[in-house]
Copies of this chain bind each other. A is one copy, B any other.
Amino acid sequence: MATIREVAKLAGVSPATVSRVMNGTANVDDDKKNRVLEAIEKTGFQPNQLARALFKNSSRLVGLIVPNIDNPFFGELSRKIEEEAFKRGYHIVLCSSGNNSEKELSNISMLSRMKADGIILITNGEHTGQMIKETDLPVVVVDRHMTDGGEIAYIESDHYTGGVLAAEHLYECGCRKIVCLRGPQEYASGRLRFKGYQDVCRKYGLEEMYIDTAYTFEAGLKSAELLLEKYPEADGIFAANDIVAISTYKVLKNHKIKVPKDVKLVGFDDIRFSSLMTPELTTIRQPISKMGELAVEIICNYAEGKPYDTACILGVELIKRETTK
């Protein structure tokens, strides 16, 4: 692989001139410019990105840490993030943390040694707050509001309003025994969605009924069974997210309970599969595209010294489909 020095020698100029021609960073005599371009053509010279990054102390790499990339919600988010980053000339280093703090730490440290320009962090890890504080990289936290500082910005949906919309919709559909399969209360998303549900119940004088669950398929199956045991009178279910809603549907079906005739069902997220399943799932749509774009925008603006937002709470939307018809 040719180096800038070889190109310079071939064109009869200094390496500095070659650099200028390549980056358009200063005017160069037309004659020399042409000779340089010719030499680049002839040698097939490609600048070594590592050398460039070493000097600039910036690799144009952005770390993306997700719990697991095979979760559709994170998959869709990652896609948007990659697209947006590419548009801006950055590339994504993918880290699937599996909620393993040790691996997360190792990745953050690696990204720092690599002079990444920032980290987009989507995680529920326990010790992550500490890690963020210790790294010198700018961090944008998505889908979780950290209170213990360290990050430069956070992005999340309006979970509370989502909870309200879901419960209101079930009420409007005639449900009076609405059960909430509520997500982990240590996460803002779980707390706020539940709070929205609660406030609607109080507004209409409905009994608050809930079962604790996690954001996974397995947890969904288990807690749906529990729900039927504890609240057999339920006529509406607000699931923690779409994955849980989908597994809940499975359990209902196994028990010969008809959806939406006997029980109406609402999810959260609007992952792609919500509209692919049969029946199609009513859900609260998070603006996944918007979230991804914003995350990248904030990191890039920070890296380039431009002003950036430090807190974004994005609106959600009720998507009415077959499970509440």
Residues of chain A whose beta carbon lies under 8 Å from any beta carbon of chain B: 1, 46-51, 53-54, 59, 61, 64, 68-72, 75-76, 78-79, 82-83, 86, 91-96, 98, 103, 106-107, 109-110, 112-115, 136, 217, 246-247, 249-250, 253, 272-273, 276-278
Contacts and interface: CB of A to CB of B under 8 A. Distances in A.
Given A95-B91, A250-B276, A50 B46 contact: no
A136 B1 CA distance: 9
B69 A82 contact: yes
Contact of A53 (B50, B107, B217, B249): B50
Chain A to chain B: the 5 pairs with minimum beta-carbon distance, closest first: A49-B113, A94-B94, A70-B75, A75-B75, A50-B54
Given A70-B75, A70-B76, A91-B94, 15 more contacts: A46-B113, A48-B113, A49-B110, A50-B115, A64-B94, A69-B69, A69-B82, A70-B78, A70-B272, A83-B96, A86-B95, A91-B110, A91-B114, A92-B95, A94-B94
15 contacts: A46-B112, A49-B110, A51-B54, A61-B93, A70-B75, A86-B95, A86-B103, A86-B106, A91-B94, A91-B110, A94-B94, A217-B276, A246-B276, A249-B278, A277-B278
Contacts of A114: 49-50, 91
B79 A48 contact: no
A204 B84 CA distance: 52
Contact of A72 (B54, B75, B98, B217): B75
Given A50-B54, A91-B95, A247 B272 contact: no
A8 B47 CA distance: 31
A2 B303 CA distance: 21
Residue among A1, A113, A136 with the highest chain B CB neighbour number at 10 A: A113
A94 B113 contact: no
A78 B70 CA distance: 8
A253 B278 contact: yes
